[in-house]
Amino acid sequence: PALFVEEQSVIQITAGILLIVAVFQLSDGFQVVGLSALRGLEDVRLPTGIALFAYWMVGLPVGYVLGIYWEFGAQGVWMGLLAGLSTAALLLTLRFYSRTTALMQSQQ
């Protein structure tokens, strides 16, 4: 961590954020796969709404409350981003499961 910066406060903040960013990458991967899979099924309207809801109605308020109001700083903002992406990943996965289950039942 001290490769480019030697200020201990910056190193501590960055070290605290790295774990959140690692989990963020996993959630981001799941939500991208979910959106892309649903796009492949020609299902775009509801997934777009899900993504907008997750980012703007979950991620932004959670990031604001944690980062600004509860004074978690940058870690709180990243936790808000993580909450939004995780919400999107979960809801998009549920939507994909619902759509594929319906398609499989219609094929039988």
pLDDT at 2 over 70: no
Distance in angstroms (rounded) separating the CA atoms of residues 76 and 93:
25
Above pLDDT 70, what percent of the chain? 97
**CA–CA gap between residue 66 and residue 84 (Å, rounded):** 13
Output the pTM of the full model.
Answer: 0.88
Q: 16-28 burial, b for 16+ CB within 10 Å, e for fewer?
A: ebeebeeebeebb
Average pLDDT over all residues of the chain: 94
Contact 35, 51 (CB under 8 A): yes
pLDDT tens profile 78-103 = 999 999 999 999 999 999 999 999 99
Residue 87 contacts residue 57 (beta carbons within 8 Å): no
Q: Say if CB 66 and CB 58 are below 8 A apart.
A: no
